[in-house]
Structure 1
Amino acid sequence: MTQEGQEATSAVEVLALLHQLSLTACRSRTRQSLIFQILNDSVQLAGYDRATLWSLKNGKPKLLGISGQAEANQGTGIAETWNSLVNDMKAPDTPQTVTKDSFATKEKLWLEFQASPASPNVHWFPIFSNKELVLGFWLERWGGVAWQDEEINILNFLMQAYGVAWEKFMPKYTWKSFGQKQALLIAAACFAALFLVHIPLRIVAPCEIVPKDPLMISAPLDGIVEEMLVKPGQYVKKDELLFSYDKRVPTQELKVAQKQVQIIQSELNRAVTLAFKDNRPLSEVATLRIKLQKEEIRLELAEFQVSRLEAKAPLEGIVMLDNPEAWRGRPVRIGERVMVLSDPNKSKVRIWIPESDNVVINREKPLKIFLNVSPEFSYQAELSYIADYSTVSDAGIPSFVSEAEWLDGENQVKMGLKGTVILYGQEVTLFYWIVRRPWAAVRSLFGF
């Protein structure tokens, strides 16, 4: 084969290798795999002893990798030397064989680096993507081996392919991609939207599921609770025992009343018998009859009290009660609230609207309720009542108590569950929606 034929064959091989490296780079699936290929596969096209790859984003060089190493250790002495040199380059956007004239202030550091035993001969290749300088490729040949123009030209073509491959790992849109006019138009559109776009006020308030039309069970007598026979959340039927009183005092009072009636009755019978023989006991008979009536009334009261020593459920429902153990041995007054019976199929939502959020509510728009036990589900309800005055909630926040009825019939939601409710107010501008709370906080702080 002639010399011309050999040169042609060599050129074809170089082009084929250049094409293969370019195609492999463009097929890289991850940013890290592309960095590895740039550092370790480029040597097939032009030999070198060591290579480093630098990110030049925003003009701040950052070491991405070193050939032959899995990770780039930024803390080594050689890495710090590289970093100082690359940061000090006058024209990092220009391909160049690196000399002391390539640096602004680090000529001495470069001469020390070049005087090392490896005697590196360095060439710098910038890599552009979409006309933006994104990477820098630092190639070293040791032992004073020079770079040939043919090798540099071939590597420059390969750098273009690397720039195209790097493009898919760059952000699609940046602020720099917008011109000044486009940015001004976007800013003007956003400013106009603040006053032209109207959205409903959204208020988030705590809520609790409470019984609808509950029946309050109060103490039927003055006395001491002996035992609570039901537990919170228990379902009871009509006439089922709820709690009982201490029976010792009432039963003793009943026995005393019965004995007193017997005594008065005996005295009355004796006086009536004597009245047939003597007229003087007639006045005593009238007095004893009055005393008997009085003691009989006391007896009826004692019997009534004994009959009420066991409280029964007037209807079926769910027991809502505080700690049952706390009621044992507790004195109660007649009419004092003991527990509540509620129909499990009838409930409503009690809401505490913070005083600072008591805006005009749009009653036509349904409320959305999210319970803490299942925040992924929402329920709809309709506002039915808002108090005219505020009270302090359990959380210590001045709030307006309000209530809502279920929209989709009686929901099978467990009593006592808590969550949050979203209420909707009137439509306001986006600007007012954003500044309402900060504005109120500033006015409250400075008093104007």
Structure 2
Amino acid sequence: MGVPGMSGAGPSAANPVNGLLLLLELQRQAWRLTAAAELRYHIVNQTRRLIAYRQAAFLTLPPTLPASGRGRPALEAVSNIAVLEPNAPFARWLEDAARAVAAGPEGGTIHVVDPAALPPPVRGAWGEWGPAQALWCPLAGPDGVPRAGLWLGRDEPWTDGELLLLGHLAEGYGHAWWALAGKRAPKPGRRRAMLPLLALALVCGVLALPVPMSTLAPAEIRASDPVIVAAPLDGVIERFHVQPNEAVAAGQPLFSFDATVLRSRHEVAAKGLSQAEAELLTASQAAFADPQTKARVGQLRAQVELRRAELGLARDLLDRVTVRAERAGLAVFTDTNDWLGKPVAVGERVLTLADPQAPEIDIQVAVGDALVLEEGSRVELFLNVDPLRPLRARLTHASYEAGLSAAGVLSYRVKAALEADPGQPPPRIGLRGTAKILGERVPLALYLFRRPLALLRQTLGI
């Protein structure tokens, strides 16, 4: 007794009789199983004894899928994988591919999958996740409705003999799956016992509602493009010409340094230049009669240039004694008494010039509260002086690395641009409050239990 088309049928190709015996043995083992998980394991792993393949996947089908195309298959088991990750990219792609195949015109029959007939997103990822040759085997019960499907993949083409054997085997698997998972229905006496399950399902449904992920962080109103006024020289600040938060005009004096030492240095440099010029003049006049004096003229001329450079430096430092505003704005600093008589170094920041009409929000997001900070995310600022009217803004920048904030907390620095409100003036620079950053939509359960889950993961290392 033989089966037509058995050439190249994998493990059963050498002896067709052995292939038929193996087919009957696999069906008998499937019918004896009493748990759905055991049957799924048997289907994806033991079928290799009859037909050679590289990977097998078992997917359950929703009842509405073959008829209307609605619903989504669920990946339940994969060969050679003990723990299945349902949200892995391969699992999502395979479920999309199985949905398209099962809803197609040949979804109820065993056939070789044609990638060209799949939707563009699935077809585009075929080279990354799909095998060279894929086979779809629907597993139908006695009523002819497929309740599950077997996806087989390998590199070699499928033969007619293999399709024939898999067709008979799929019927046996389909009956076994129908007996374990397809025909069970709740009995009337169990309605009261189903109430807790319904309540649990309701709670799970509420926890699955999508809500925007958000985080709260301290914030402050600052200038969006401030001009930093730094000390132009080493010295001691003698006086301030402006007060904190005072409006200044371009070119207006801001503060002055003690010029006593600089004036003395300028006088010494001026006298040194006069002396060098006198020595050069005397040597130049004597050079006509004394050849030795003529040799010193070049050296004295270099001394004059050196003294002239020293005088220029002293004059330049005197010109920097009074620091002036580069542009109009608010002089932002704490208190004049914090700087008077204090020695400062070159480049040390003394104050900033801020434009009050162009404020922004400076936010310090703690590392433990950070979420995915994307440009353009919505931000709401609740000022301490007016917590009932939040200011709207959009996130414009988030630091790549975390640093210590003024409060000593490891935080990400985030900036947000305020949305224009024609009926309200811009908030005053320096106001503080609490910013609420809104991220992508996530299930309510993740929003409520994000911190406990993070703590549990850090504690248990999972």
- TM-score normalised by length of structure 2: 0.54
Question: Any gaps of 5 or more consecutive residues in structure 2?
Answer: 1-191
Q: Structure 2 vs 1, CA of residues 197 and 253 (structure 1 numbering), >3 Å: closer, same or farther? A: same
Residue in 2 that maps onto 1:440: 454
CA contact (8 A) 1:235 1:318 kept: yes
Q: 1:371 aligns with which of 357, 377, 383?
A: 383
2:431 maps to which of 406, 412, 417: 417
- 1:282 matched to 2:294? The reply is yes
Mind listing any 5+ residue stretches in structure 1 that lack a counterpart? 1-179
Q: Quick check: 1:369–1:421 contact (8 Å CA) kept in 2?
A: yes
Q: Is 1:269 equivalent to 2:281 in the alignment?
A: yes
**Structure 1's 396 and 275: CA in aligned 2 closer, same or farther, altered over 3 A?**
closer
**Identity in percent:** 30
Residue 387 of structure 1 contacts residue 401 of structure 1 at CA under 8 Å; is this kept in 2? yes
Alpha-carbon distance, 1:409 to partner: 6.6
Write the letter of the residue equivalent to 1:229.
H
What CA deviation, in whole Å up to 9, does each residue of 1:319-375 have, x standing for no partner?
111332121122222222211111111111111122122222465552111111111
Q: Which residue does 2:20 correspond to in 1?
A: none
Among 238, 250, 255, the alignment partner of 2:250 is 238
Are residues 195 and 332 of structure 1, via their aligned partners in 2, closer, same or farther at CA, if it must alter by over 3 Å? Answer: closer
Match of 1:257 in 2: 269
How far residue 235 of structure 1 moved from its aligned partner, in angstroms, is 0.9
Counterparts of 1:17-416 in structure 2, within 5 Å, are 187-188=199-200, 190-361=202-373, 366-408=378-420, 412-416=426-430
Aligned residues: 269
Contact persistence 1:228–1:325 (CA under 8 A) = no
Distance in 2, matches of 1:266 and 1:232, equals 51
Q: Which amino acid aligns with 1:312?
A: R
2:226–2:353 CA contact under 8 A, matched in 1: yes
Matching residue's letter, 2:319: S
Which has the larger displacement, 436-445 or 202-211?
436-445
1:74 aligns to what? none
Structure 2 CA distance for partners of 1:205 and 1:426, relative to 1, 3 Å: same
Q: What is the TM-score with the length of structure 1 in the denominator?
A: 0.56
The answer to which of 436-445 and 184-193 deviates more is 184-193
| 1:14 equivalent in structure 2 | none
Tell me the residue number matched to 2:441: 427
Which has more radius of gyration? 1
CA RMSD of aligned residues (A): 2.5
Q: Secondary structure at the match of 1:224?
A: strand
2:432 corresponds to which letter in structure 1? Answer: K
Equivalent residues of 1:225, 1:327 under 8 A apart: yes
Alpha-carbon displacement from aligned partner over 1:376-431 (angstroms, at most 9, x marks no partner): 11111111111122112223322211111112279611111111111122222222
Aligned-partner Cα distance in 1 for 2:207–2:289: 110
Structure 1 residues 409, 214: closer, same or farther in 2, change over 3 A?
farther
Secondary structure of the residue aligned to 1:227 is: strand
Matched to 1:392, the amino acid is L
Q: 1:441 to 1:250 in 2, by over 3 A?
A: same
Task: Classify the secondary structure of the residue corresponding to 1:193.
Answer: helix
CA contact (8 A) 2:288 2:294 kept: no
SS at match of 1:378: strand
Which whole-Å CA distance do the structure 2 matches of 1:336 and 1:323 have between them?
Answer: 16
Contact 1:362 1:426 in 2 (8 A): no
Preserved contact between residue 250 and residue 305 of structure 1 (Cα < 8 Å)? yes
Q: Is the 8 A contact 2:372 2:439 kept in 1?
A: yes
Shift of 1:286: 2.1
Separation of aligned partners in 1, 2:293 and 2:408:
74
Residue identity in the other structure for 1:368: E
- The answer as to whether partners of 1:361 and 1:426 remain within 8 angstroms in 2 is no
Structure 1: how far apart are the matches of 2:267 and 2:396? 54
